[in-house]
Amino acid sequence: MASSPGGSTLTPAEVRMELHAQNRGKLVRCLRQRLAESSRPVHGFVLLQGGEEQNRYCTDHAELFRQESYFAYLFGVREPGFYGAIDISSGKSILFAPRLPEEYAVWMGKIKPLAYYKEYYMVDIVFYTDEIVEVLQNHCENPGKPLLFLLYGLNTDSGNHSKPAMIKEMEKFDTDLDVLHPVLTECRVLKSEMEIGLMQYANDISSEAHVEVMRKARVGMKEYQLESVFLHHVYMYGGCRHCSYTCVCATGENSAVLHYGHAAAPNDKTLIDGDMALFDMGAEYHFYGADITCSFPVNGIFSADQLLVYNAVLKAHDNVISCMKPGDSWIDMHKLAERTILESLKEGGLIQGDVDDMMVGRLGAVFMPHGLGHLIGIDTHDPGGYPKGLERPKEPGLKSLRTTRTLQEGLVITVEPGCYFIDALLVPAMEDPDKSKHFNCREISRFRGFGGVRIESNVLVTAEGCRNLTNCPRKTWEIEAVMAGAPWPPPPPATLSQNGGYR
């Protein structure tokens, strides 16, 4: 059913806590296998600490809380201050809730009993956080100190480490900081059907909101006004209180700033006739997110130059998705996108020479300095991009890949080729003796200040190939039609009725 301006055809997806029970079961199976393979006893507790509510600096202003992602994956708890444990030998799950003071009920609402958390979050037992040490010792069936598997490991996207749970009297336990992180991270890489369902919904509402942004775009508006259209739509109609990341709402030359939208560049430029817009925005629903980029002309009609660049990126986007299947190398997919863009730019007269030579010389990184895509799930850049043994490439462009994994069924990854005209990259390349021969300087100079184009979809790898979870207008005629008021998705073609008329 096609969406109409100002409304939605969607209703918030059902959230089932069985999803997190399944995630815990998956982790227990994988941990047991890992321990058995290394000839270690199959017992101990996984212990995770949930997120804590944070105040704004020294004030009493509480920032909007969002659960720590690994904890969210295993327990689905939306409140701060919790701990969670899983008995590896029995598979039983234990949730530890903060013991709230009586005045909480005055300011924050009714204090829920432990039985509520047990039933709602589908765990086996619930205690208070001040009982962790006693409970884990009492539930340990092995002699000696109970063994705790704590979460500690490197996030290869951020360069930061996961923080292990901290409790009082830790000396009463043996701890392991090595096993849990790689096993739990690998569990998050391949998505279950229930996870895919939530990600599909996040994509559906985000796609619909992107269409609303296209429809509302007008010369003279501010970038942040269109950001607010997106945020309003996914919350008003989709129940999405959180976004997956800070919205990138870039127009004109700003669209060549890859992480535009930060505090020093806060989506505040005025939309100018003739500019391209690059809007990278995604909603989050029950922790699972979408990450979608749409590029379109501010005035609703593509110019010849805009068509050249946009169609180069669209062809790369479509070529990659048409080829993706289990067993494919993500590096090969990235290079396919690069080659496609270079071939299109050569056909358009912006560059010249042999494309194979350009690929060897890494010319594609001048126009697309970022990687083709990244794993996505509970985090926008989901962990697991570089498991142990997988090294990051060092060549320009390729070194920015957030993963070089071989594609597997159940993996969800973004496909986001782009083509940008960034002076910080173009000028040195045009002065480089090996690269300068490939530039048609007169034609390229016309694109200084153009900005860039990116097209991003969230793609599920299936047994047969892949499935695009994103549903936005992509072809230029589709974008122009939607911006002129046409419905999206388009209605099915008219068919003849029995009496010969169309219906």
From 189, 221, 247, the end of a domain falls on 189
Residue 329 lies in a domain: yes
Per the CB < 8 A criterion, the answer to whether 435 and 363 are in contact is yes
Greater model confidence, 492 or 39: 39
Give the chain's mean pLDDT: 96
From 151, 171, 189, the end of a domain falls on 189
Residue 69 lies in a domain: yes
CA distance readout (Å), 304 to 102, 311, 496: 67, 11, 38
Residue 7 lies in a domain: no
Number of structural domains (the chain) is 2
Are residue 97 and residue 218 in the same domain, yes or no? no
What is the pTM (predicted TM-score) of this model? 0.96
pLDDT at 502: 38
What are 159-195's pLDDT values in tens digits? 999 999 999 999 999 999 999 999 999 999 999 999 9
Are residue 159 and residue 217 in the same domain, yes or no? no
Residue 498 has pLDDT above 70, yes or no: no
Per the CB < 8 A criterion, the answer to whether 447 and 465 are in contact is no
Residue 476 has pLDDT above 80, yes or no: yes
Asked if the bond preceding 489 is cis, omega within 30° of 0, the reply is yes
pLDDT at 503: 40
Per the CB < 8 A criterion, the answer to whether 452 and 421 are in contact is yes
Residue 497 lies in a domain: no
The candidate with the shortest Cα–Cα distance to 417, out of 434, 395, 400, is 400
pLDDT at 30: 98
Residue 2 has pLDDT above 60, yes or no: no
pLDDT at 491: 87
Res. 496 pLDDT band, cuts 50 70 90:
very low
What are 59-103's pLDDT values in tens digits? 999 999 999 999 999 999 999 999 999 999 999 999 999 999 999
pLDDT at 141: 84
Per the CB < 8 A criterion, the answer to whether 209 and 234 are in contact is yes
Residue with tokens 């010792």: 137
> Six-digit token pair at 118?
């047990």
Residue 225 sits in a domain of what CATH number? 3.90.230.10
Mean pLDDT of 116-140: 97
Are residue 236 and residue 148 in the same domain, yes or no? no
Residue 6 lies in a domain: no
Are residue 178 and residue 247 in the same domain, yes or no? no
φ/ψ of residue 495, rounded to 5: -120, 155
pLDDT at 144: 87
Residue 236 lies in a domain: yes
From 143, 164, 189, the end of a domain falls on 189
Spatial distance between the Cα atoms of 87 and 42, rounded to a whole number of angstroms = 10
Are residue 170 and residue 313 in the same domain, yes or no? no
What are 291-320's pLDDT values in tens digits? 999 999 999 999 999 999 999 999 999 999
Per the CB < 8 A criterion, the answer to whether 319 and 301 are in contact is no
Residue 2 lies in a domain: no
Residue with tokens 């996870």: 195
* Structural domain boundaries, residue 109: 17-189
